[in-house]
Amino acid sequence: MLREKIKKASIIPKVGDIVEIEKTSNKTGVIIDVKPRKNELSKPNIANIDQVVIVLSSYKPDFNSLILDKFLVFYQSYNIDCIICINKSDLLDNSLKEFINYYSNIGYKLIYTSAKTGDGIDDLKQELLEKVSVLAGVSGAGKSSIINRIDSNLKLKVGDVSENLGIGKHTTRYVSLQMIRYKNKNCFIADSPGFSFIELNNIESKKLSYYFREFIPFINKCEMKDCLHLHEDNCFLKKNIDIENNHRYLNYLKFLNEILEIEKIKKTKSSKIENNIKIFKKSDGKNIKIIKLPEELRDKSRKFINQNLKKLEKINSIDDIDL
């Protein structure tokens, strides 16, 4: 049950919310307040996440740095810490491992697991201690197998939800936080639907480079404010990294292109809307915005107003009106 105050503020409590409850009986209560959220996601619909564990596999599906970087950018833009989990370590070759280790060198927590052999699962569990974690990743990377390895009781819950809905196990529609105990501590885990692609449409081009953590020390030394590290002169970042071979910079450029395209579309849309808005100055000096209707609707609305004016005239012409 929700109290009026929350309803009025139109806050819809989410999984993960920290709330204040007023007891109405021994077993029931009402939510009287939802505490401010430190972050929130819509897929899955959950708040106050401590970290996202991005699960990718070394093989089938093959590891792909573009996908990993996109996940990293996406979650960091929501102010959520990320842990990288590379599963199917039993199939990982050394040269790929060396390449992936780059992420550990730039400061990410990186864990190799094998849901098949159980390798690394305890390391992962250690990272989940006393935290609220969302497991995300591409389908087929072994997320369900890892969840089952973490705690076989979780297996039932994850499987049940999906089977009941009959929509395949990676299209879980609602989210729940499952609690597991490890080393006498609580860990809260939520599953997230497997993504086929991630959209970056809420990220501003000028902020993108901040989500590439190893770029940060250079960014503020670029000559241009809001440097996009693209064609600008005296770009400190470009001077300090190998722009032809640094795979993260190349991925950055791909995302930047995507975001610039999105921004272009948004701009044309908003200028179309702007063109349809007329601004009037009221007698008190304040501006009011009026949406210009298309010609045919303008005719209709004039007719409608005239009809109503006539009705009003009729009423006003009757002096003795019973109220």
Handedness of CA 259, 260, 266, 269 (dihedral sign): negative
- Omega before residue 44 within 30° of 0, cis: yes
Q: Which residue has the tokens 């000028």?
A: 206
**Contact between 144 and ligand GDP per CB under 6 A:** yes
Handedness of CA 213, 79, 172, 176 (dihedral sign): positive
Nearer to Zn ion, 230 or 305 (CB): 230
| Region from 113-121, 125-133, 224-232, 262-270 binding ligand GDP, contact rule CB under 6 A | 113-121
**Contact between 142 and ligand GDP per CB under 6 A:** yes
Question: For the window 255-274, what string marks contact with ligand GDP as x by the rule CB under 6 A?
Answer: --------------------
- Omega before residue 61 within 30° of 0, cis: yes
Residue partners of 51: CB distance under 8 A and separation at least 6:
80, 81, 82, 83, 127, 131, 132, 133, 134
Measured CA to CA, the distance from residue 90 to residue 58 in angstroms comes to: 9
Among positions 141, 175, 241, 259, the unique one binding ligand GDP when judged by CB under 6 A: 141
| Region from 42-50, 112-120, 227-235, 252-260 binding ligand GDP, contact rule CB under 6 A | 112-120
Nearer to ligand GDP, 70 or 143 (CB): 143
Nearest approach, Cβ of residue 162 and ligand GDP (Å):
10
Query: Which of the choices Zn ion, ligand GDP, none does residue 16 contact, using the CB cut-off of 5 to 8 A by kind?
Result: none
CB of 44 within 8 A of CB of 190?
Answer: yes
| Region from 137-145, 203-211, 282-290, 293-301 binding ligand GDP, contact rule CB under 6 A | 137-145
Residue 257 phi/psi, 5-degree rounding, is: -60, -45
Query: Which of the choices ligand GDP, Zn ion, none does residue 143 contact, using the CB cut-off of 5 to 8 A by kind?
Result: ligand GDP
Measured CA to CA, the distance from residue 265 to residue 238 in angstroms comes to: 28
Nearest approach, Cβ of residue 164 and ligand GDP (Å):
17
Subset of 194-253 contacting Zn ion (CB under 5 A): 222, 227, 229, 235, 237
Interface residues with ligand GDP (CB under 6 A)? 87-88, 90-91, 114-116, 137, 139-145, 170, 194
